[in-house]
Structure 1
Amino acid sequence: MDPIVKKNNKKMLVGIVTSDKMDKTVVVAVEGRVLHPLYKKYITRTKKYKAHDAENQASIGDRVQIQECRPVSKDKRFRLTAVLEKAR
């Protein structure tokens, strides 16, 4: 019998940190492009996610990668996996 293999089906998103004022939490703005149904033009949509940052390593303006995880609190469903680019 084959061992059960679990796949990692968790969302990975890349965005910019907009707030780091909370302890161990950052707010990440993720931009996405959607096609307008009538005018057929692409529109930029921004969604904000709260992510768990255990070491408080991200600061405002950093480009970060976040991954979906189990609920950490009422609003936090993502955790910070990497700081891709520090703010200048």
Structure 2
Amino acid sequence: MPKRQLHGLVVSDKQDKTVVVAVERRFTHPVLKKTVRRTTKFHAHDETNEYAVGDMVWIEEHKPISRLKRWTVIQGEKKKRVL
């Protein structure tokens, strides 16, 4: 079975080798028929501490690395930083 891949925004990078990624999903509400946005946060392993808050990343399922980490960062786009 293939591993799931999700696309999200890094919202925290304070932990060592870990980033918190917010993944947004959209669906139509069954009663109201409006498009609803829901956000889920995933802890993902970032071996090189490469990504920072604001970067867009792809994460992939992985065997448990720690109590909360079950995902790894596979690629991403860095946000333009103004110095």
Q: TM-score range by the shorter chain?
A: over 0.9
Aligned position for 2:53:
60
The DSSP-based 3-state class of the residue aligned with 2:26 is: strand
- The number of equivalent residue pairs is 80
Aligned position for 2:62:
69
Tell which structure's C-alpha radius of gyration is larger. 1
Q: Deviations over 1:25-55 (max 9, x none)?
A: 0000001001111011110111000000001
Residue type of the partner of 2:74? T
Matched, 1:87 2:79: yes
- Structure 1 runs (4+) deviating above 2 angstroms are none
The two structures, once aligned, show a CA RMSD in angstroms of 0.8
The runs of 5 or more residues in structure 1 that have no matched partner are 1-6
Matched, 1:50 2:43: yes
TM-score normalised by length of structure 2 = 0.92
Q: Percent identity?
A: 49
- From 19, 25, 45, give the equivalent of 1:32: 25
The DSSP-based 3-state class of the residue aligned with 2:37 is: strand
Report the Cα distance in structure 2 between the residues aligned to 1:11 and 1:64, rounded to whole angstroms.
14
The runs of 5 or more residues in structure 2 that have no matched partner are none
